[in-house]
């Protein structure tokens, strides 16, 4: 299986109401006791090269409420794409609860990436859903720590089910899956 050349987060920031890119946005990321600051380009995009892990980002843009996005996951060897919207106005938006992420790669029996697989994580209090991308990568972001039943499915058909525990905030629970019967 071919491995992409870099690991990181590709973030797109938009006006929550109009979906217009926020070229004025600035992101602060604290990782390993180091503060990284990045400015969005004219398309509202920011690309950060980061090691595998789960990150919290503080985002600010002139004319918008600042926001703290918690538990954005990055999987080794992959560029994870995330789109977030900011609310117009001043001040600070409601802060998200401390969170982590669950992610990994989905491959078939020939070690080829499997795209468009629905991944659902459910506990008694929370539910999260995502799909695998063109490289077979999936990341459930902003996951509150706890025990989850994870289901990988194609349409209505469950292909695999496992119980996993996310131990704490700012952690990435890496779990790769091989799907034999597609």
Count the residues in the chain. 182
Q: Has residue 94 been placed in a domain?
A: no
Please report the DSSP string for 27-87 in residue order: EEEEETTEEEEEE--TTSEEEEE--SEEEEEEEE-TTB-BEEEEEEEE-TT-EEEEEEEE-
Q: Has residue 25 been placed in a domain?
A: yes
Q: Has residue 27 been placed in a domain?
A: yes
Smallest CA-to-CA distance from 177 within 123, 130, 117 is with 117
Q: Which residues contact 94 (CB under 8 A, 6 or more apart)?
A: none
Of 26, 53, 86, the position where a domain reaches its end is 86
Q: Has residue 66 been placed in a domain?
A: yes
Please indicate whether residue 55 or residue 5 has the higher confidence score (pLDDT).
55
Q: Has residue 2 been placed in a domain?
A: no
**CA atoms of 56 and 182, how far apart (whole Å):** 35
Q: Has residue 173 been placed in a domain?
A: yes
**CA atoms of 119 and 124, how far apart (whole Å):** 17
96 DSSP assignment: P
* Res. 47 pLDDT band, cuts 50 70 90: very high
Look at residue 4 and tell me whether its pLDDT is greater than 60: no
Q: Which segment of 2-6, 38-42, 151-155 scores lowest on mean pLDDT?
A: 2-6
What CATH code is carried by the domain that includes residue 164?
2.60.40.1120
Q: Could you report the per-residue pLDDT of 60-105, keeping only the tens digit for each?
A: 999 999 999 999 999 999 999 999 999 998 777 766 789 999 999 9
Q: Has residue 93 been placed in a domain?
A: no
* Res. 125 pLDDT band, cuts 50 70 90: very high
User: Do 104 and 51 share a domain, yes or no?
Assistant: no
User: Do 37 and 82 share a domain, yes or no?
Assistant: yes
Of 86, 117, 140, the position where a domain reaches its end is 86
pTM of the model as a whole:
0.86
Q: Which segment of 87-91, 108-112, 144-148, 156-160 scores lowest on mean pLDDT?
A: 87-91
Specify the pLDDT at position 31.
72
- Residue 142, both tokens: 């902003």
117 DSSP assignment: -
* Res. 1 pLDDT band, cuts 50 70 90: very low
Look at residue 3 and tell me whether its pLDDT is greater than 70: no
Domain count, the chain: 2
Q: Has residue 63 been placed in a domain?
A: yes
Of 52, 86, 120, the position where a domain reaches its end is 86
Domain that holds residue 23: 8-86
User: Do 115 and 171 share a domain, yes or no?
Assistant: yes
């Amino acid at each position: 299986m071919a491995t992409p050349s870099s690991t990181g987060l590709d973030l797109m920031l938009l006006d929550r109401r109009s979906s217009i890119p926020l070229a004025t946005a600035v992101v602060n990321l604290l990782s390993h006791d180091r503060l990284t600051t990045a400015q969005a380009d004219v398309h509202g995009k920011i690309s950060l090269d980061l090691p595998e892990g789960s990150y919290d980002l503080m985002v600010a843009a002139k004319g918008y409420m600042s926001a703290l996005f918690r538990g954005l996951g990055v999987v080794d060897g992959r560029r994870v794409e995330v789109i977030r919207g900011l609310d117009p106005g001043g001040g600070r938006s409601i802060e998200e609860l401390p969170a982590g992420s669950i992610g990994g790669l989905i491959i078939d029996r020939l070690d080829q990436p499997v795209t468009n697989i629905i991944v659902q994580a459910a506990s008694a209090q929370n539910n999260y859903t995502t799909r695998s991308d063109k490289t077979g990568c999936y990341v459930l972001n902003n996951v509150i720590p706890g025990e989850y039943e994870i289901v990988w499915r194609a349409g209505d058909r469950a292909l695999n089910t496992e119980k996993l525990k996310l131990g704490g905030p700012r952690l990435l629970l890496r779990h790769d899956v091989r799907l034999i019967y597609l």
